[in-house]
Amino acid sequence: MKRRTFLKRAGGFTAACMGAGLVNEGVAADDTVPSFPIVDTHVHFWDTARLRYPWLENSALLNRPYLPQKYDEAVGPVKVGKIVFVEAACADDQTQAEVDWVTALAKDEPRIQGIVANVPLEQGEAVMPRLEALTANPLVKGIRRFFSTQAQAPHGLLPALTKGVQCLERVGLHFDLGLQRGQIPVATELVRQCPNVRFMLNHIGVPDIKNNKLDPWRQEIRALAEFPNVFCKMSGAATLANHESWTPKDLKPALEHVIDCFGFERTAFGSDWPVMLSATTYPRWVVAAAWAVRGCSEAEKRLLFHDTAVAFYGLPSVFND
């Protein structure tokens, strides 16, 4: 199905889906919800008694351990077959310890089949020994590094960061683009300078869903999607909306735009658990994401919730029950 056809067909389901109770906390008995085990491309685990997470200190909700057992409780009836762990911004001197700890977790939690680690790529070529060491761990699939910008650099992009990201090509790792709002143009310039690195945009590029201000995000996303080596996570949307009052209808324009720009072949589902808990339960987010693409075919649904993630991160292709 062509993307434009999907969007037209999906719009016809709006009233029916809203009336079907799909915003309930549990997963409704509805064919929008994947019947197969999904891949969650964006999960954080942390143990605040083990590692330091300075950004959690002011959060009563998040400043506590979030471990696989709690994740199991959170997913409820949703079938999750594979998990990609994404670095959780621990203290910079503990990032290797985080990788080692999650690798140990994976021995008891076999759904953890990928790790996106944190490496200071802004150090340029100096990060090569660290990257080479990480590739000895088959679970490590990519790197995420929130990057600062500087006004005097071209497009606000630090030259050393570009060199560090270019190093990923040499070790076969991908780059997860963790952005602040307004940084898509900077990310686009980074992508332009790294044509042989594959990128995964996190949290659909952080649009202002809460205030329904999707421009210039719409134009920036379309420009970024023109690069065939860029993929996008359908994650974080509920957190970007009004935490107390959002409905799937509020998220739908942004999610549809992502599909229109990247297609199902380059869009992958992610939860952003447990950060998402400030705005939604896990089942409610899955239902909302599935509802937003209800006009799609079964093959397209499998791309969004499984196949695209497997292809991008190089995960085992079999479905895990």
Mean pLDDT of 201-214: 98
Question: How do the residues of the chain divide into helix, strand and coil, expressed in percent and rounded to 5?
Answer: 45, 15, 40
Q: Is the bond preceding 37 in cis, omega lying within 30 degrees of 0?
A: no
Q: CA–CA separation, 272 vs 222, rounded Å?
A: 23
DSSP class of 69: H
> So what's the pLDDT on residue 220?
98
Instruction: Look at residue 1 and tell me whether its pLDDT is greater than 70.
Output: no
CA distance 260 to 254: 10
Please give the mean pLDDT across all residues of the chain: 90
Confidence of residue 173 (pLDDT cuts 50, 70, 90): very high
**Burial level of 54, CB count in 10 A (0-12/13-18/19+)?**
exposed
Q: What pTM was computed for the model? A: 0.90
Question: How would you class 291 by CB atoms within 10 Å of its CB: exposed for 0-12, middle for 13-18, buried for 19 or more?
Answer: buried
Q: What is the pLDDT of residue 32?
A: 73
Q: Does pLDDT of 29 surpass 80?
A: no
Summarised one tens digit per residue, pLDDT across range 239-282 is: 999 999 999 999 999 999 999 999 999 999 999 999 999 999 99
pLDDT of residue 141 exceeding 70, the answer is yes
Go through the domains of the chain in sequence order and give each one's CATH number.
Answer: 3-312 (3.20.20.140)
If pLDDT is split at 50, 70 and 90, which confidence band does 320 have? Answer: low
Q: Which is it for the CA torsion 279, 311, 224, 295, positive or negative?
A: negative
Peptide bond into 274 cis (omega under 30): yes
Could you give the CA distance from residue 162 to residue 141 in angstroms, rounded to a whole number? 19
Strands (E), the chain: 38-43, 80-86, 112-117, 140-144, 174-177, 199-201, 230-234, 267-269
Residue 88's pLDDT is 98
Q: Any idea which of 45-54, 80-89, 148-157, 167-176 has the lowest mean pLDDT? A: 148-157
Bridge partners, 234 (sequence order): 269
- Indicate the pLDDT class of residue 15, thresholds 50, 70 and 90: very low
